[in-house]
Structure 1
Amino acid sequence: MKRKPILSKLRSIYTNKTNASAKQLLQQAIELEDQGNTDEAIIIYTEVIKAAPNWATPYYNLGLIYKYRNEWHLSYTNNVKALAIDPDDEAARWNLGIAATALRNWRTARESWNRFGLKLEVNDDEPNLNLSRAPVRLNPDEGGEVVWCMRIDPARAVIENIPFASSGHRYGDIVLNDGAPVGSRVSGGKEYPVFNELQLLIKSNYNTYSTTVYTNEQRHIDKLLVLCENENVQIEDWSTVRLLCRQCSEGKPHEHHDEELKEAHKSEHYIGFASENKQAILNALENWRVISLCEHSELVLEL
């Protein structure tokens, strides 16, 4: 995953004890990294460390590169080294928590999150918290569908929407999320920061299905929702999902997207379902057809 170049630059704080050669090498490494030449940047960061072994910044920057590569052992090790030099480095501490979570090193993860205000017992048990709802951008380098999730710790979230199959994600998946917000979404009058996904950790047992239902009355959609709930089926009207430009997705959505949404999908609704049992969806659709006197297309397995 491509990292955000500005992050390394913000960490490049020179000290009086840092020699000029190390500073030049660090700048060279940052420029290579910004150009996408991370393999070469890693080599130069290694030279920086040889020149200035007590400087935390090159260790942090290496940890950042390996974080966005999902190379968790290396990210973990470099953040530990950065913190050994600068124990008060909050950014390195947070990234250590992420790496520890990816590695299922729950003791270190708990210790890290406690430094940010949580009061977790420090043990080897997997945290299963109920922190808050949060929007997470899936596959942020490939378009980035944003879904609502429940955060079960600062670095993990459970998907509560039904993602499009093209995302490769399902309802109930557990994803590893970054800690730096990129954009925002509004729900219930409250603005929430959007976090980028780093990695899919655990796939859920739910499959994703779709159909098109033909009705121009919202009450029919509402009835289908109730029937699906009775069958323990998750349902989402994909026709109401906004497809945002990158500028909007990584910021605050513009009003024109809302206007486009109101004009579309009046008589056909593209419906997504999530269930472990296909027959339960078919039962709900058949009951809906009888009650509403409306029709739907064939049920399709998406993922």
Structure 2
Amino acid sequence: MTAATEFEDRDHAMAHLAHLIATASGAPIDTPRLALGPATEALALAGELLGRDDGDDPDEARRAYLEVQRANALRLVGREHDEEAQLLFEAVLARSTDDQQNAAALFDLGLFHKSRGRFAEAFDAFARARDAGFEGKNLFFNLAAAATALGRGEAARDAWAALGIDLEVNAAGMPYGAVPGPVEVRVPTRGSGHGVAPVVPDEALSFEVVSVAPISPCHGVVQTPTLRDAPVDYGDVILWDGTPVAMKEVDGRAVPRFPLLEILRRGDERRFRFVALEQVAGDLDGLGAALPDGAELFALEARVEVVCPRCAAGDAFVKHEHGTPEPHRIIYGKLIAAPDLGLPSLSDALTEAMRGAGRVSLAVPELYDALGDAKRAGQEHQAFRGIEQVALRKGLAGTH
């Protein structure tokens, strides 16, 4: 922790404070905050510098600057300081007559509200910052993102136009246009309670990456389901923050990965977890190809082991002559059903597809839970556990 007294003069200390705030602000919005990170150091340093300005002849502009930086440090340290941060921002804006300083403070206030999901307040702060003369790509991106979250398509379109991006507004009042894609978005997840010997313990928080088809430069539709329990899933319309957390090259093209900002609309698709035991590579693909339009099987995690074919087919607990070991995979995934696809017809199609799908075992208990078929759901839950038990006995649980 750096104290103000370690610097030769106040200007050096203030420059270091600005550096600390910039460093903390540069972290992705979904990054867990460090207990003793740059924001914590900035909070202490801003407090010390403000203490120096409590003399008989304080510099009002400097004090306002330090109060804004302290408010920024408070918002970056954590939500437990939100009330104090809000009061500091409001006090500076009520007192300061410096338009340039107010514009910067309003932009920072907008970032504060955006990070807390208060998009109406964020939009107001960003718009006031713009009107006060604040400029730059970050302002207009954040203004567009807040407008999109609020369903204010024309305001979002105008903000993108300021960045040279031409969009239209659809009948629902949302911006859309030709946007290069796809992009990736990382989302926070927690264990689903399914799976054997998971790589990430169920109780642990982690990130999962989903592919998204952009509708605008800051929102789009999730194209892949999540494996663990997550706030978003296939078909949801989501909003992301503007600073990529990573870049990935796919087919010679750089694909940005953004942090999740907000869920704008839940998808109408139905999603059902499944577990499968594949005895021949491609069996699950063949099963998926036999399903009707509007149904799709997504394999999200696969573990491979070489085991006896009859063991893999479900006879692991029945005495039998072991055959020549073959590679098999236990696969976790989701069955996605379009909103207009009837679940009874999906069940019938899945049953029929299973008959000609080769040597693959599949259990989708959630489908039959949704159908209200208690007997079949019970059988599927038992089959789900049975496939996992085969995996545990044969070592698939420990190999990826």
Smaller-chain TM-score range? 0.7 to 0.9
After superposition, residues 139-288 of structure 1 pair within 5 angstroms as 139=188, 143-164=206-227, 166-228=229-291, 230-240=292-302, 266-275=328-337, 276=339, 277-288=342-353
Kindly report structure 1 stretches of 4+ aligned residues shifted beyond 4 Å. Answer: 121-125
Contact 2:71 2:85 (8 Å CA) reproduced: yes
Q: CA deviation at 1:189?
A: 4.2
> Per-residue CA shift, 1:44-63, capped at 9, x if unaligned?
12222234341211111110
Match of 2:20 in 1: none
Cα 1:185–1:227, aligned 2, differ >3 Å: closer, same or farther? farther
Instruction: Measure, in 2, the Cα distance between the counterparts of 1:61 and 1:197.
Output: 20
Match of 2:82 in 1: 38
Instruction: Measure, in 1, the Cα distance between the counterparts of 2:329 and 2:137.
Output: 52
Indicate whether 1:86 and 2:148 are aligned.
no
Contact 1:224 1:284 (8 Å CA) reproduced: no
Contact 2:145 2:218 (8 Å CA) reproduced: yes
For residue 267 of structure 1, give the secondary structure of its aligned residue in structure 2: strand
Contact 2:276 2:363 (8 Å CA) reproduced: no
Match of 1:253 in 2: none
Instruction: Measure, in 2, the Cα distance between the counterparts of 1:22 and 1:268.
Output: 61
Unaligned runs of 5+ in 2: 1-22, 28-37, 39-58, 191-204, 304-326, 371-400
Indicate whether 1:128 and 2:176 are aligned.
yes
Cα 1:147–1:97, aligned 2, differ >3 Å: closer, same or farther? same
Match of 1:5 in 2: 24
Which of 57, 65, 72 is the aligned partner of 1:23? 65
Cα 1:272–1:112, aligned 2, differ >3 Å: closer, same or farther? same
> Per-residue CA shift, 1:229-288, capped at 9, x if unaligned?
x432122101159xxxxxxxxxxxxxxxxxxxxxxx942222311113433543443233
Q: Percent identity?
A: 21
Match of 1:254 in 2: none
Instruction: Measure, in 1, the Cα distance between the counterparts of 2:362 and 2:150.
Output: 44
For residue 245 of structure 2, give the secondary structure of its aligned residue in structure 1: strand
Match of 2:356 in 1: 291
Contact 2:187 2:231 (8 Å CA) reproduced: no
After superposition, residues 109-120 of structure 1 pair within 5 angstroms as 109-120=156-167
Instruction: Measure, in 2, the Cα distance between the counterparts of 1:5 and 1:156.
Output: 25
Q: CA deviation at 1:94?
A: 1.3
Match of 1:259 in 2: none
Which of 73, 92, 108 is the aligned partner of 1:48? 92
Cα 1:118–1:143, aligned 2, differ >3 Å: closer, same or farther? same
Q: In the alignment, residue 237 of structure 1 is paired with which amino acid?
A: A
Q: CA deviation at 1:32?
A: 1.9
Contact 2:168 2:176 (8 Å CA) reproduced: no
Match of 2:378 in 1: none
Q: CA deviation at 1:295?
A: 4.1
Contact 1:151 1:158 (8 Å CA) reproduced: yes
Cα 1:218–1:190, aligned 2, differ >3 Å: closer, same or farther? farther
Structure with the greater alpha carbon radius of gyration: 2
Instruction: Measure, in 2, the Cα distance between the counterparts of 1:120 and 1:18.
Output: 43
Instruction: Measure, in 2, the Cα distance between the counterparts of 1:199 and 1:62.
Output: 18
Instruction: Give the TM-score, by structure 2 length.
Output: 0.61
Unaligned runs of 5+ in 1: 10-16, 242-264
Q: CA RMSD in A?
A: 2.9
Cα 1:117–1:234, aligned 2, differ >3 Å: closer, same or farther? farther
Instruction: Give the TM-score, by structure 1 length.
Output: 0.78
